[in-house]
Each structure stands twice: as structure tokens, then as C-alpha cells.
A and B are shown apart, each in its own frame.
Chain A
């Protein structure tokens, strides 16, 4: 009998490679942009606080450093939440859009863009513009509606959640389209740009907000890894393995809705990271969540920083929306991996 090792690399090696790539990609993210800053200058500015010229120092401290850190955090939040949802739905094709978060966020953001011009003038909440607050509220409201629709006294049905998510997303899409129709040219452009995701609005306030969320989720999510593994066998099987499945589902939905809503609020809709990153990691190291969750967080961070760096240099001085770049970078890599995986098995 031939023995097939279905894994491409071990989790340990994967983690090591990602940990090497992370600082390299981050430095690259700090270097690239309309103004190129050399590695030596970056190191002296970030490590000792002086060196380089004052303009470079300003660019690093006010623009690029918060932007790179925000990309790291948003990327890891999206990828981890994607992994959680794929586990919860026992479907490797699930992504945060399934629980209606992205669609709801779009409605919230569009509402603010179209009707809230008076709001945007007066100030920020925790570094968030009114659009971000609208997006966050929209995301949370839709996920609560979908969760309530799928929950009966017998428990929460993930199948119903999936269907309700599709229906609510369609409804939210219609609402966003209506708003786009009502919008003038400038509003329309802002709506569509927002839906492609971008990290231009990065600030230390947003980094703080994301860091708190990521830290909170980073403490809680790893505890669910064994239960998530068990639930891949099926809900009743997980129950027979001693997992309190109803509470697990609730916690996972809350964690992922929160994580995605925060990401969407600070960076708009960034497609593909939540779907692809966990999927790629699973192809590399297998579906064990004890490895999958931390490795997805690392890989998501790396992917988004790299995508954002690229977004800044392809069409200078303008920027591509980062969501476009994640798809451009990620999709071919994903397809390549799929082909490799098929050939091996």
C-alpha cells in the first residue's frame, strides 16, 4: 500500500517561513510609496527616532508606519475570521460575506456617504469617520439579523444562516444599489472606492482600535481550536465529543462578526483575504485549527501588507484599491496551489 503524505509542509516550517517573511514584507511596505525611503533610513528612524531627513521621518511616522501596522492587523483579523467561519460552516468556501457583514457594512457606509454629508464635517469617533461608524453599525446589524433568523428554540442552524445570509446580502445589495442610484457623481465614486477597500485612512487611532480588537480576539480564539476541529466532524459528533455546540456557534459568530466589522470599518471591503488565506494554509499544513488559526493570522497580515505596498506603486502617484490587489495577487497563487494539490493526490 503506498503511503501518501498529503501535506506540503509541516506547520512548524510554515510558521518559520511566515515569521521570516513578516518583517521583510513590513520593511518593504515602509520603503515603498510615492517617495522611496531606503532601508537604512527606515531602520534609523524607527529604531533610534532620528536619521533620514525630516520629511522622511514624517512620512514614516505619520503615514507609512500606521498604515503598515493597520494592514498587518486587518489582514490577520480577516484571515482568522475567515478560518473561523469556514470551520463553523464546515465549508472551505465560506467567507465573511456569508454572514452578511460586508453587505451590511456597504449599506451603512453608503447611507452615510449619501445622506450624511453633514455628519462627516463634525469630527471623528475613536479616529473613525462617520462612514466607518456607519459601516460598523451596518455590519453588526446585519449579522445580528441573520443570526436571529437562523436561531430557533432547537438551536442555531448553520444551513439556515447560510441561506439567510445570502438573502440578506441580496437585500443589502439592492439597498446599496438604490443609494448608488440616488448618489451624485462624487458620492458614487466614494461608494465604489469604499467597496474596493483601501488603507489610505490609516491613523494611529485606527491602529489602536484594531490592535485592541485583535488582541482581544487573539486571546479568545485560540481556545476554540480543539472544538473547531471536533465540529468539522459534524455538529452531533462534536456534541458527542463533549463540545457545547450551541455556545460554541454563538461565540464563533460573535468573534467573526466583531473582527470583520472592525476591519470593514477601518479599511472598507477587502475581498478574498478571508476566503483565500485559510484555504491556502489548509492546503499547505492541513485543517488542524491549532495550526491553522495562528498561521492564517500571520499569512493574512503578510498578504495585506504586500498587497498594500503594491497598491501604492503600480500607478503612481495614484493608488489602486487594495481589494483589487489582493485579488490580483492572491487568485493566481491560489489557482497554482490548487493545481499543485490536484497533481499530488
Chain B
């Protein structure tokens, strides 16, 4: 579904990404991890088309990123940025409605989707509130509802659409409380089960371990390691990438690997 083929990115003579190759099959969840400035967000921006790759290319649905028109790709690919800069007092409902911009599904269907998307992120009670007055976590949940609304048909009805959805999330859980971090994981698992390919930047190794099919460790614009959660969560690799001494233990109930520092 999404292929990153030896992508390099250089901006103003500063190399930000170097020979990155990642394959994200349909319905997979990929977690991009690494210290600050490792190039995670830059890579996400190359995928989303904000930066053009200096070398290599991104392939979406067997077609080069360059060949997709913005209006076409917006039908099935949504991007959640780190933070929002919206200064105008839209209600939360109206912000979510903006997610329907690429579609011409009509106001009735859109209203259904908006209500459902707000409910999905536990933000129904925010619908009529002014977005600018929300807390950081509430804003991020409304923005999450907006990107879900954008690719709603891909999230909710499998095989209905001609192309599968892609969702790019940049530190989606940074502002969330514990309950909403788990809610995010659940949503990611649900939509990936319906065929949506998810690529997300995350800092919390344990949270990422709960839902990622594939982890990517990045450092200084290079891809240090790519593999499954249990392959990557080792004390040696964590020491190498994050310069932190950590123990990896097994979750007493779920049996998944857990990082303890």
C-alpha cells in the first residue's frame, strides 16, 4: 500500500533523511520512533507530500507520490499534525466537518459521519464548543475526529472504497491522558483491521508496542532498525538509539514486551 524506497531529504544543504526504506503493507501499523531531531516528522512530511524527496521515492498504491493529485489523494489519505494553529472560533463540529472537504457526499451523510467521528474519540460533548477554548488534549481529539472523518468510509466499511485508507499520525497521543491514550490504540487497531494503513510517530515505546505491527527506529536521519516489536525492543537497541539504559520485561497478563527504565 505504502512503500518508502531509499528516500533521502536535504533541505538548505542540511541532510535530514538518508536512504530510508520501509514497506507498509495494507492494514499495517508502523510506529516511527527515535530521539528528537531523528527525522521522524520529516519522513512523515515526505509521505504526506509536504516535502518532496531529494532521493528515492514514495509509492502509494503502486503509484509514485508525485503522480497523485492533491484532490485525489485527500480522498483516502489523512494527516494529523503535531499541533494545530487554528485561531478562528469554529465549533468542534465545524472543525470535524472540514475533514469532509475532499468529499461531495452531501450534508446529510456528512452530518452522520461528523457525529459518529466525534463519538468515536469521546468528544460528542464538545460538538458545540468553540475549538479555540478547548484544552490541548481536547483539541487533539477533535483533530483526530477530523482526520477520521476524512477517511471515514475506509475506516468503517471494509472493501467499500476503491482504494484503502492511509492515516499518518504525528505524536497523536502526546496531549492525551491515560484513558485517551488507550482509546487511541483501540481506534488504530480497529481501523487497521478494516484495511487502513497507519504510520505514526510516537515517543512512548510501551504504547507503540501495544498496537504496532512494525517498528522503525530512527536516529540522525538514518533508519537504525526496522522490525517487529519483539525484535526491536531489546536493551541493546534502546541503548544504541535513545542512549538510555532500559530493561525489557514481559507484560504479566498480555505477554507483550515492556520497556522499564
Contact = CB atoms under 8 A, between A and B. Distances in A.
Contacts of A282: 88-89
Contact of A286 (B71, B94, B129): B94
Nearest to B99: A241
A229 B90 CA distance: 10
A6, A234, A240, A244 pick with most chain B CB within 10 angstroms: A240
B87 interface: yes
B150 A241 contact: yes
16 contacts: A4-B130, A6-B89, A92-B88, A226-B101, A232-B87, A233-B85, A234-B86, A236-B48, A237-B79, A240-B74, A240-B77, A241-B98, A242-B71, A243-B70, A243-B101, A244-B70
Contact of B87 (A1, A5, A90, A242): A90
Interface in A251-297: 282, 286-288
Contacts of A148: none
Contacts of A244: 70-71
Interface string B74-87: 11011101001111
A91 interface: yes
A244 B72 CA distance: 11
Interface of B: 48-50, 70-75, 77-79, 81, 84-91, 94-95, 98-99, 101-102, 125, 128-130, 133, 150
Contact of A242 (B70, B95, B128): B70
A152 to B, nearest CB: 12
A230 interface: yes
A118 interface: no
A239 interface: yes
Interface SS of chain A: helix, strand, loop or mixed? loop
| A interface bracket (residues with beta carbon within 8 Å of B) | 20 to 34
B90 A288 contact: yes
A244 B102 CA distance: 11
A1 B50 CA distance: 39
B212 to A, nearest CB: 23
A286 B98 CA distance: 14
Q: Which of A6, A282, A345 has the most CB of B within 10 A?
A: A6
A230 B89 contact: no
A287 B81 contact: no
Given A5-B128, A90-B87, A232-B86, 12 more contacts: A6-B129, A91-B87, A229-B101, A234-B85, A234-B86, A236-B48, A239-B50, A240-B74, A241-B101, A243-B101, A282-B89, A288-B94
B85 A230 contact: no
Given A230-B98, A241-B98, A241-B101, A345 B71 contact: no
Contacts of A286: 89-91, 94
Interface in A1-42: 1, 3-6
Interface centre among A229, A232, A237 (most CB of B within 10 A): A237
Contacts of A92: 87-88
Given A233-B84, A345-B133, A1 B78 contact: no
A242 B90 contact: no
A3 B128 contact: yes
